[in-house]
Amino acid sequence: MKVIFAGTPAFAAQSLQAILAAGHQVVLVLTQPDRPAGRGMLMQASPVKALAIEHHIPVLQPPSLKIKPGELENNSLAQAAYDAIAEAQFDLMVVVAYGMLIPQAILDLTEANGRWGCFNVHASLLPRWRGAAPIQRAIQAGDTDTGVTIMRMDAGLDTGDQVALQKTPIAANETSIGLTDRLGIMGAQLMTQCLATLQMGQSLVRIPQPSEGVSYAQKILKSEAVVNWHLSAPEIDRQIRAFNPFPGASANFNGETVKIWHAQIVNNGEQMDALSAALSAGAIFCGAHGEVLVRCGDGVIELLEVQRPGRKKISARSWFLTLAQNPQQQFQNESS
């Protein structure tokens, strides 16, 4: 089948790779503009663009697909993208983590001339977690399950009909980076299964999303990453896992922002409660076997991997050895 593909991050590149590997022809790729990245802040192509170039696929990178009054440069790029889609010979469009809404005018093009329409690979069990950050919000909320939905797109925010769905449990120690990779593979496989069905001339059954259970995964803000040690250990554990890799949970220690990349809840019952009972939230102390422990509002967290500004990630134990020879240290609570 002939496909137009729209996507940006590595999660989307997994679907593009699977579509190509299945023998489909991708005639055009849309992805977000190159952006500065890394320590040198050099302009960097998205993973989807890099893969498209490798396979000699034409790439368009408009900053928006909407025609907006007064924005001449943006409007010309948006119009060029619309014209390219209108002129392309294709059977359907696939959208995966593109990062911008697809206007109704383009959706109409994907349904014209006997085409199959526009399909989206979304990393949640819709209608749970519509929006920008479904993986992070699922972990942060303590969801025990998530999955991938293939949706026939409409002009709303992740409101289209479901055509396929696959569920998976969220592991107790799973981070956003690990879950993103797993769901990327699942989504790629599920999308290629849908393409195989369409290639055989069979329609995909469209099921409207339930009106109950709708939730929205708002965009992640850097300000959310600061740990409030007055929260419970499970809440802080979910925050650390949800914000790995972006923006990375952080805490203020002696005026320095320390990133916390990996941690785990300590469940030693009465013995641990007695050991930490006199400590305030955010207090750091050493466990019986050298563990780096932090008192939370309710419970205790063991730090496993941290990072100081401008330094590499190291084990929490190595970091703890660099601290002053005070048996009790304290994270500052920004919100206290």
* pTM for the model: 0.91
Tokens for 113? 């001339």
Q: What CATH number is given for 2-217 in this structure?
A: 3.40.50.170
CATH class of 222-330: alpha beta
Contact 68, 33 (CB under 8 A): no
Amino acid at 43: M
Instruction: Check: CB of residue 99 under 8 Å from CB of residue 62.
Output: no
Q: Give me the phi and psi of 79, to 5 degrees please.
A: -65, -40
- The HSE-up count of residue 322 (CA atoms within 13 Å, CB side) is 9
Q: At 322, which amino acid appears?
A: T
By the 10 Å C-beta count (0-12 exposed, 13-18 middle, 19+ buried), 113 is classed as: exposed
Domain ranges in the chain are: 2-217, 222-330
pLDDT tens-place values along the chain, 336 residues long: 999 999 999 999 999 999 999 999 999 999 999 988 767 778 899 999 999 999 999 999 999 998 776 666 678 889 999 999 999 999 999 999 999 999 999 999 999 999 999 999 999 999 999 999 999 999 999 999 999 999 999 989 999 999 999 999 999 999 999 999 999 999 999 999 999 999 999 999 999 999 999 999 999 999 999 999 999 999 999 999 999 999 999 999 988 899 999 999 998 665 556 566 668 899 998 888 889 999 999 999 999 999 999 899 999 999 988 876 555 578 877 654
Percentages helix, strand, coil for the chain (3-state, rounded to 5) are: 30, 25, 40
Specify the residue for token string 């919000």: 137
